[in-house]
């Protein structure tokens, strides 16, 4: 087990190095720091001095990949690549490109808490609601309830999440005036602001997930042990809840686990629509403001979270299913 | 003479069409493939959804033939071309483009949406400006006394259009019945069988879909010359026209991005599964790498770079349309390059299984080259996975486009798209009274398109994947038995 975890970590680091190189290639080679400077300073006439100043302020004035003039190992270390990579792996994210005062690490820390407040309840409720709906459909399989349930799922997954948000805000906030349209307050007040985004996000993904989980449950129901369970006279509820659901949990957790990184990163669209100051909104602001340092950091952070959550899921398997041996 | 313009996405779309045509010619020659596609054609939902998608495809193709018209009053006599690139769809809807109002107007309205000062603006200090709803320049312009005649006119045109739609539907029915009359023993029997759904292919579902479209199109076509059927947006542009333009954007993004994933997913997946060893390790590393970055972030990073690239190289395009189009094309490429990991994993797994099968082993023993084995024995046998994933991806990408455009990394702001329409609608929905028609139009078209694509994808998946077929809710099939 320890061996497995160690190898897992080593591979994760390898992937992170790759992600780092990839983003570095995208941000520094496809377009040089000069281009970024010109874009960030803005305006038609940008002098070379301005660009040089911009670059030296942010530490981009070194060679990018390889410094031929430096002695010894400094050939490698006296580069933008080395600087950026080392600070990223040390989780020191530095400052924003566009607004120097913004410390990315600090922002990430404070905003991740807000994102968690939105995404963690959502993740749990989402799993419960989708599995419950799927179990209902599987229980009534090949009846009208199942048929219309699947039709409803297909209809729901054909509607863009943006429509759910706009209609939901209009209905619940403007017409019924139950919750504020958007905004956020820390503490217990947050519930008022988070209830609607959670509900809408849940609805927008319910169709996709319930249909997927239904297929997984039905797949499991065609197996022999289910026939045995029925043959020994178990009630259908008992078969479904005690035998099928437990076994179907493995694929369900795999697919739900794919959302784990977003529990920390938050939802881009929902946070920005509801003006919730989480990481998702942070990213959108960075993208619209063309703040490359933040986007780069978030790509790295996202990959880190993805790798960590995947490892967690694999370890969770051994706990759910003793047959699984990690090696 | 007009000057034909081939935009990047036009070329790609027409190449895709040619490829699809070749594929279906190949399918007809192969009995098993033809039988599987035959199953799609016997699925009523699949046929209805396919017909709907075919109509959207027609709009896309009409909007993929671009040209630049010569300027009429060129002073020197030399032919100068308009900087504005038009498409066949633009030419067909030239009247809608010309009917540009000044601002918002509701669907079928003859008055503007917000009050404007009509006279006495700041002329005399004591006289208050009179504010009322201005009459539209084009919408309902033919009415002499719009206050009284408007409702009657709209109703009359609507009913006439509906009647024409019904007539077209009836003609379609007669056409279908006469086509199958020979095999069904006469015209009368054919009509009866068609109504009772006793035909080999679900022609009734096909006819019902097309008839519904006719009934919808009839009134729309009757209103179109004199009204804005779906209203106008903030700058007075016809919303119906914008929706149709958005159909192309969505279609292009859905189709081309899916197409762009295929070389990576299929090629690398087969290579990894077939050669195993270090090739497999490298390819697995690559797709794990791509999969580990949250998709939106990776796309955002790439699109930001594309943007800088386009800003740096303005010499690559002559007109604004070409710039927007190149950006859309690159967006599809980005979506393709970032989105192949899922399918690649599937193909790799399937290839690993296939390479151990007897016929591949036999081919190896006979000394057939690796390349030939992959091409003749492996690729055809993983095509069903590719096909299923491709059609399922299509609808996801249409939804994705809206989100990406909202985030700011989607299509160019000058390109009309559902995402852009929804983005504007966000502000409009906050007005009082609300401007709902842009939003409703985007919603209607998008749901029709995504739902059609999803249902068609389900039909294809059911035909190619027996396991999915067994999971279909079977309530209605049992009733028929």
pLDDT of residue B255: 92
Nearest neighbour of A23 by CB, restricted to B294, B301, B407: B301
Partners of B210 in the β-ladder: none
Nearest to A149 by CA among A158, A138, A163, A160: A138
pLDDT tens, B70-107? 876 656 667 777 777 888 888 888 888 888 888 888 88
Chain B nearest-CA residue for A171 = B429
Phi and psi at B136, nearest 5°, equal -70, 155
- A136 and chain B: CB distance < 8 Å anywhere? no
Q: Name the closest residue on chain B to residue A13, using Cα atoms.
A: B289
Q: Which residues of chain A have pLDDT under 70?
A: 31, 43-44, 71-72, 74-76, 98, 100, 325-327
User: Rounded distance, CA B14 to CA B154, Å?
Assistant: 39
Contact across the interface for B439 and A166, Cβ inside 8 Å: yes
Hey, what are B130's tokens? 């009179």
Using a pLDDT cut of 90, give the percent of chain B over it.
30
The nearest CA of chain A is from the CA of B404 a distance in Å of 9
d(CA B402, CA B422): 8
Listed by number, the residues of chain A in 168-187 with a beta carbon closer than 8 Å to a beta carbon of chain B are: 169-170
How far is it, in rounded angstroms, from Cα B481 to Cα B471?
18
| B92: enclosing H helix or E strand | helix B88-92
Q: How far apart are CA B319 and CA B330, in angstroms?
A: 17
Instruction: Confirm or reject contact between A198 and chain B (CB < 8 A).
Output: no
Taken as a whole, chain A contains a residue count of: 327
Q: Do B294 and A265 touch (CB under 8 A)?
A: yes
Q: Within an 8 Å CB–CB cutoff, is residue A42 touching chain B?
A: no
Asked whether the beta carbons of residue B309 and residue A261 sit closer than 8 angstroms, the reply is no
Contacts of B417 (CB under 8 A, 6+ apart): B246, B249, B250, B401, B402, B405, B410, B411
| pLDDT attached to residue B479 | 37
As a whole number of angstroms, the distance between CA A230 and CA A244 comes to 11
* Neighboring chain B residues of A288 at a CB cutoff of 8 Å: 408
Return the pLDDT at B476. 53
Which residues in chain A have their CB less than 8 angstroms from residue B402's CB?
Answer: 160, 162
Show the CA angle centred on residue A192, arms to residues A190 and A193, nearest 5°: 65
**What is d(CA A293, CA A298) in angstroms, rounded to the nearest whole number?**
9
To probe the interface with B, which of A26, A158, A182, A297 has the most B CB atoms within 10 Å? Answer: A158
Closest CB to B455 among A154, A161, A218: A154
Is there a cis peptide before residue B384, judged by omega within 30 degrees of 0?
no
Gyration radius (Cα) of chain B, Å: 27
Provide DSSP, B137-178.
SSTTTT-SSHHHHHHHHHHHHHHHHHHHHHHHHHHHHHHHHH
Q: Is A44 on the interface with B (CB under 8 A)?
A: no
- Predicted pLDDT at B76: 67
Q: How close does chain A come to B407, measured CA to CA in Å? A: 6
Grouping H, G, I as helix, E, B as strand and the rest as coil, residue B339 is: coil
Return the beta strands (E) in B31-161 as ranges: 66-70, 81-87, 116-119, 130-132
Cα distances (Å, whole numbers) of residue A245 to A21, A32, A146, A215, A216:
42, 53, 17, 12, 9
Does residue A195 belong to the interface with chain B, where contact is any CB pair within 8 Å? Answer: no
Are B162 and B218 in contact by the 8 Å Cβ rule? The answer is: yes
Nearest chain A residue to B433 by CA distance is: A174
Residue B196 bridge partners (DSSP): none
Q: What is the ipTM of this complex?
A: 0.86
Contact A268 B407 (CB under 8 A): yes
Residue of A29, A162, A259 to mutate for B, most B C-beta atoms under 10 A: A162
**B208-221: per-residue pLDDT in tens?**
999 999 999 999 98
Closest to B253 measured CA to CA, from B402, B408, B444, B451: B402
Residue with tokens 């098993």: B32
CB contact under 8 A, A154 and B395: no
Query: E-assigned strands of B12-129?
Result: 66-70, 81-87, 116-119
Confirm or reject contact between A158 and chain B (CB < 8 A). Answer: yes
Per-residue pLDDT tens digits of chain B, which is 481 residues long: 778 888 888 899 999 999 999 999 988 888 888 888 888 888 888 999 999 999 999 999 998 888 888 876 656 667 777 777 888 888 888 888 888 888 888 888 877 777 776 655 555 555 566 677 777 777 777 777 777 878 888 888 899 999 999 999 999 999 988 888 888 888 888 888 888 888 888 888 899 999 999 999 999 988 888 888 888 888 888 889 999 999 999 999 999 999 999 999 999 999 999 998 899 999 999 998 988 888 888 888 888 888 878 877 778 777 777 888 888 999 999 999 888 998 999 999 999 999 889 999 999 999 999 999 998 889 988 988 898 899 888 999 999 998 888 888 888 888 889 988 888 887 787 777 788 888 899 999 999 999 999 999 989 988 888 777 777 776 555 333 2
Q: Taking CB atoms and an 8 Å limit, are B308 and A27 in contact across chains?
A: no
Which residues on chain A are in Cβ contact (under 8 Å) with B425?
166
Write out chain A residues lying below 8 Å of B437, CB-based. Answer: none
Q: In this structure, how many other beta carbons lie within 10 angstroms of the beta carbon of residue B180?
A: 18
Chain pair A-B, CB pairs under 8 angstroms: 139
Query: What is the predicted pLDDT for the residue at B116?
Result: 73
Q: Is B388 within 8 Å of B459 (Cβ atoms)?
A: no
Chain A residues within 8 A of B455 when measuring between CB atoms: 154
- B456 to chain A: closest CA residue: A154
Distance CA A16, CA A22 (A): 10
What residue of B is the nearest CA neighbor of A304?
Answer: B292
Question: In Å, how far is A175's CA from the nearest CA of chain B?
Answer: 12
User: Would you state the pLDDT for residue B247?
Assistant: 93
Query: Which chain B residues have a beta carbon less than 8 Å from that of A299?
Result: 293-294, 297-298, 301
CA distance B354 to B229: 55
User: Looking at residue A43, what is its pLDDT?
Assistant: 66
Give the Cα separation of B250 and B9 in Å (integer). 12
| DSSP structure class, residue B135 | B
The residue written with tokens 């942070």 in the block is A282
- With CA atoms as reference, the chain A residue closest to B300 would be A287
With the C-alpha atoms ordered A150, A152, A153, A159, is the resulting torsion angle positive or negative?
positive
CB-nearest to A39 from B300, B308, B468 is B308
């Amino acid at each position: 087990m320890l061996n497995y975890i160690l190898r897992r970590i080593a591979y994760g680091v390898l992937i992170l190095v790759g992600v780092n190189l990839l983003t570095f290639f995208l941000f520094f080679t496809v377009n040089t720091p000069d281009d970024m400077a010109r874009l960030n300073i803005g305006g038609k006439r940008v002098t070379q001095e301005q660009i040089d100043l911009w670059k030296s302020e942010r530490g981009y004035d070194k060679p990018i990949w390889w410094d031929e003039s430096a002695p010894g190992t400094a050939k490698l270390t006296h580069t933008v690549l080395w600087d950026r990579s080392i600070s990223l792996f040390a989780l020191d994210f530095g400052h924003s490109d566009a607004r120097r005062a913004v410390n990315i690490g600090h922002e990430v820390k404070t905003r991740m808490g807000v994102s968690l407040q939105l995404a963690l309840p959502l993740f749990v409720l989402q799993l419960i609601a989708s599995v419950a709906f799927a179990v209902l459909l599987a229980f009534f399989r090949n009846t009208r309830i199942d048929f219309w349930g699947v039709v409803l799922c297909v209809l729901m997954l054909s509607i863009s999440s943006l429509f759910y948000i706009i209609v939901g805000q209009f209905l619940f906030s403007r017409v019924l005036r139950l919750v504020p349209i958007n905004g956020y307050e820390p503490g217990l007040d947050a519930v008022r602001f988070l209830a609607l985004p959670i509900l809408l996000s849940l609805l927008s993904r319910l169709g996709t997930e319930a249909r997927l989980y239904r297929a997984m449950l039905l797949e499991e129901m065609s197996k022999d042990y289910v026939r045995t369970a029925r043959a020994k006279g178990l009630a259908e509820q008992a078969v479904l809840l005690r035998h099928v659901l437990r076994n179907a949990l493995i694929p369900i957790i795999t697919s739900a686990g794919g959302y784990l990184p977003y529990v920390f990163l938050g939802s881009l669209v929902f946070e920005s629509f509801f003006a919730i100051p989480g990481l998702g909104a942070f990213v959108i602001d960075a993208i619209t403001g063309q703040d490359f340092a933040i986007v780069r950091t978030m790509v790295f952070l996202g990959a880190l979270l993805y790798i960590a959550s995947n490892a967690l899921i694999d370890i969770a398997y051994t706990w759910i299913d003793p047959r699984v041996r990690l090696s | 003479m007009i000057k034909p313009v081939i935009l990047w996405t036009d070329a790609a779309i027409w190449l895709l069409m040619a490829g699809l045509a070749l594929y279906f010619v190949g399918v007809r020659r192969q009995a098993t493939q033809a039988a599987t596609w035959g199953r799609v054609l016997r699925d009523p939902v699949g046929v209805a959804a396919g017909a709907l998608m075919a109509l959207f495809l027609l709009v896309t193709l009409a909007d993929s033939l671009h040209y630049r018209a010569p300027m009429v009053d060129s002073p020197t006599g030399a032919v100068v071309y308009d900087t504005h690139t038009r498409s066949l769809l633009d030419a067909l809807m030239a009247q809608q483009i010309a009917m540009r109002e000044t601002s918002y107007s509701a669907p079928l309205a003859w008055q503007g949406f917000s009050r404007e000062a009509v006279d006495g603006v700041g002329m005399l200090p004591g006289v208050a400006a009179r504010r009322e709803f201005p009459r539209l320049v084009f919408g309902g312009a033919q009415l002499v006394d719009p206050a009284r005649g408007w409702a009657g006119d709209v109703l009359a045109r609507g009913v006439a259009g509906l009647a024409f739609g019904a007539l077209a539907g009836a003609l379609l029915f007669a056409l279908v019945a006469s086509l199958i009359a020979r095999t069904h023993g006469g015209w009368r029997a054919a009509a009866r069988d068609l109504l009772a759904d006793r035909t080999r292919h679900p022609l009734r579902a096909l006819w019902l879909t097309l008839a519904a479209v006719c009934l919808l199109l009839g009134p729309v076509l009757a209103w179109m010359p004199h009204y804005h059927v779906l209203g106008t947006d903030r700058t007075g542009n016809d919303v119906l026209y914008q929706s149709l333009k958005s159909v192309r954007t969505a279609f292009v993004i859905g189709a081309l991005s899916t197409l762009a994933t295929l070389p990576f997913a299929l090629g690398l997946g087969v290579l990894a599964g077939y050669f195993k060893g270090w090739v497999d390790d490298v390819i697995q590393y690559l797709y794990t790498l791509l999969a580990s970055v949250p998709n939106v972030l990776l796309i955002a990073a790439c699109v930001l770079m594309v943007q800088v690239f386009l800003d740096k190289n303005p010499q690559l395009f002559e007109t604004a349309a070409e710039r927007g189009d190149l950006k859309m094309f690159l967006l599809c490429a980005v979506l393709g390059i970032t989105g192949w990991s899922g399918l690649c994993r599937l193909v790799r797994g399937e290839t690993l299984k296939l390479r151990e099968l007897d016929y591949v082993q036999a081919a190896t023993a006979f000394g057939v080259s690796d390349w030939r084995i992959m091409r003749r024995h492996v690729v055809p046998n993983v095509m069903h996975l590719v096909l299923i994933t491709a059609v399922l991806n299509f609808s996801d990408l249409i939804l994705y486009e809206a989100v990406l455009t909202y985030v700011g990394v989607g299509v160019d702001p000058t390109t009309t798209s559902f995402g852009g329409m929804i983005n504007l609608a966000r502000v409009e929905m906050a007005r009082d009274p609300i401007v709902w028609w842009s939003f409703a139009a985007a919603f209607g078209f998008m749901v029709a398109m995504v739902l059609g694509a999803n249902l068609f994808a389900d039909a294809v998946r059911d035909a190619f994947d027996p396991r999915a077929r067994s999971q279909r809710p079977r309530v209605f099939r049992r009733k028929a038995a």
